[in-house]
């Protein structure tokens, strides 16, 4: 009888465990598929928007040539707006792609976006910096109202796939201060002493405990460009000059216009008048994050082809799903696992003759494809732009930490807990001792104990 009961109990647990495992696999595949689909969809709309910006440039030559002032007014209006409507359409479409692949709305993501819409509407139009200048000058009159409504529209439908390369205008520069560097926290959590060896060789020995705070004061957030959307921004700029100034001839421009199905003449006036054109901004240089040479080479098996070797607009996505377990945990508590998946995609294309799309700096219709890219080669910051816990830590906990020390901050915050551990003299001593003997074993692609997220970020 006892034997029989034992067998039954064992079998029950095996069945429950097996069910949980299957469920976890299924949820994992849902997060991967929907994350990838959302990233591809967002990049697709970035490509469409970039091509539209190119079309607008071509239309402007034609309008100039034909002396159509009404069209010219409409075009200059569109130039500024497209940088918001294009990316926000990408954001909306990527939600749909994630949902179509079985992902549910994430209430935290949705709440964050709702709050941000309110902030854009109420704070952006009036915020003034320390120098008395407007912090967020409107790209066109009434822009923040329109932008806020677009954000609200996305939030009203529910957010499933968060834009992980989101860069809010008020965001801190992640390189500006050690406490803004997520690698620092991960190095503490994982006892990754090699991280210190490469990034802050003397910090373990130099640091002095509170009070007062040993750290330099937290820097003010830098003033950022507000002419591109905070979500899936196209990274465009505008410049005033003549079309000729970009090194294109009238025939070439006319040819491109015909290719895009835009009819009209291109003449001397169109080519030589100085007006504002949509151009690529400085971030569209070489794709350094994907470079296979240099100090931190990306572990691609071959180098990126010249024609695709540009950075610029891309889309990184973060999705989460929770799988509840049937197998009871300690004390009969129910357990659930949260799975996070990040994924990135990028618009690709070239001008004829395998020229880079950025060859003339002027935006021309050139994007014909989108591909998934490794998240580490995307413009998403190391901690993730939509990592809400990290955001809360930076914005709300760090100022208190600097004032009142490591034990004034909430222990519910993972990052604050790392700062408490950092405060232990013995902990830092262990690291310094280890490095004194073993620093020659450190390799830039990981080494040591690995980061909090499981080893090196390179190659993900
Ligand atoms: Zn914190």
User: HEC string of 193-214?
Assistant: HHHHHHHCCCHHHHCCCCCCCC
CA of 130 to the centre of ligand 1 (A): 26
pTM (predicted TM-score): 0.84
Task: Find, among 192, 391, 339, the residue nearest to 183 by Cα.
Answer: 192
Q: pLDDT at position 240, please?
A: 94
Helix (H, G, I), strand (E, B) or coil at 308: helix
Cβ atoms 82, 223 nearer than 8 A: no
Q: pLDDT at position 459, please?
A: 52
Cβ atoms 341, 375 nearer than 8 A: no
CA of 1 to the centre of ligand 1 (A): 54
- CB count in 10 Å sphere of residue 215: 15
| Segment 72-118, tens digit of pLDDT | 989 988 999 999 999 999 999 999 999 999 999 999 999 999 999 99
The H or E element containing residue 278 is: strand 275-280
CA of 430 to the centre of ligand 1 (A): 24
CA of 399 to the centre of ligand 1 (A): 10
d(Cα 295, Cα 411) in Å, to the nearest integer?
A: 37
Q: Would you list the DSSP string of 335-379?
A: -EEEEEEEEEEEEEE-BTTTB-TTTTSB--S-EEEEEEE-GGGSS
Q: How many helices (H) and strands (E) does the chain have?
A: 13, 6
What are the residue ranges in the chain where pLDDT is below 50? 446-456
What six digits make up the tokens of 192? 């990754």
Q: pLDDT at position 450, please?
A: 32
Q: pLDDT at position 452, please?
A: 33
Q: pLDDT at position 2, please?
A: 87
Beta-strand (E) ranges in 297-335? 315-324
| Segment 408-436, tens digit of pLDDT | 888 888 999 999 999 998 999 998 898 88
Q: pLDDT at position 264, please?
A: 85
CA of 185 to the centre of ligand 1 (A): 11
CA of 315 to the centre of ligand 1 (A): 27
């Amino acid at each position: 009888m006892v034997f029989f009961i034992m067998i039954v109990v064992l079998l029950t647990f095996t069945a429950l465990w097996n069910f949980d495992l299957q469920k976890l696999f299924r949820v994992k595949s849902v997060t991967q598929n929907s994350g990838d689909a959302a990233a591809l969809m967002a990049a697709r709309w970035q490509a469409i928007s970039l091509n539209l910006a190119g079309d607008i440039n071509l239309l402007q030559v034609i309008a100039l040539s034909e002396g159509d002032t009404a069209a010219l007014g409409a075009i200059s209006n569109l130039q500024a707006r497209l940088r918001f409507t294009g990316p926000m359409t990408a954001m909306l479409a990527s939600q749909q792609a994630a949902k179509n692949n079985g992902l549910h709305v994430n209430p935290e993501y949705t709440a964050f976006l709702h709050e941000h819409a309110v902030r854009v509407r109420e704070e952006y139009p009036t915020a003034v910096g320390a120098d008395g200048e407007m912090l967020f000058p409107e790209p066109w009159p009434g822009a923040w109202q329109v932008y806020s409504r677009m954000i609200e529209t996305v939030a009203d439908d529910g957010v499933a796939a968060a834009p992980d390369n989101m860069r809010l205008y008020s965001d801190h520069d992640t390189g500006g201060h050690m406490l803004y560097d997520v690698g620092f926290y991960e190095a503490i959590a994982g006892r990754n002493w090699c991280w210190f060896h490469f990034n802050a060789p003397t910090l373990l020995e130099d640091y002095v405990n509170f009070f007062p705070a040993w750290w330099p004061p937290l820097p003010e957030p830098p003033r950022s460009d507000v002419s591109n959307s905070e979500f899936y921004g196209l990274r465009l700029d505008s410049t005033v000059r003549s079309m000729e100034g970009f090194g294109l001839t009238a025939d070439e421009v006319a040819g491109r216009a015909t290719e895009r199905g835009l009819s009209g003449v291109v003449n001397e006036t169109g080519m030589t008048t100085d007006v504002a054109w949509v151009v690529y901004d400085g971030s569209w240089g070489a794709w350094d994050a994907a470079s296979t040479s240099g100090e931190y080479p990306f572990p691609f098996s071959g180098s990126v082809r010249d024609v695709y070797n540009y950075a610029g607009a891309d889309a990184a996505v973060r999705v989460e799903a929770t799988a509840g377990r049937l197998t009871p945990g300690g004390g009969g508590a129910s357990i659930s696992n949260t799975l996070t998946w990040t994924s990135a995609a990028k618009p690709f294309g070239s001008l004829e003759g395998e020229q880079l799309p950025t060859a003339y700096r002027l935006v021309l219709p050139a994007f014909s494809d989108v591909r998934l890219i490794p998240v580490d080669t995307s413009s998403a910051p190391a901690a993730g732009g939509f990592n809400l816990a990290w955001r809360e830590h930076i914005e709300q906990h760090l100022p208190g930490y600097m004032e009142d020390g490591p034990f004034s901050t909430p222990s519910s915050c993972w990052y604050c807990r790392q700062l408490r551990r950092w405060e232990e003299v013995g902990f830092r001593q262990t690291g310094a001792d280890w490095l004194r003997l073993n620093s020659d074993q450190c390799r830039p692609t990981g080494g040591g104990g690995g980061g909090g997220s499981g080893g090196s970020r390179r190659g993900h």
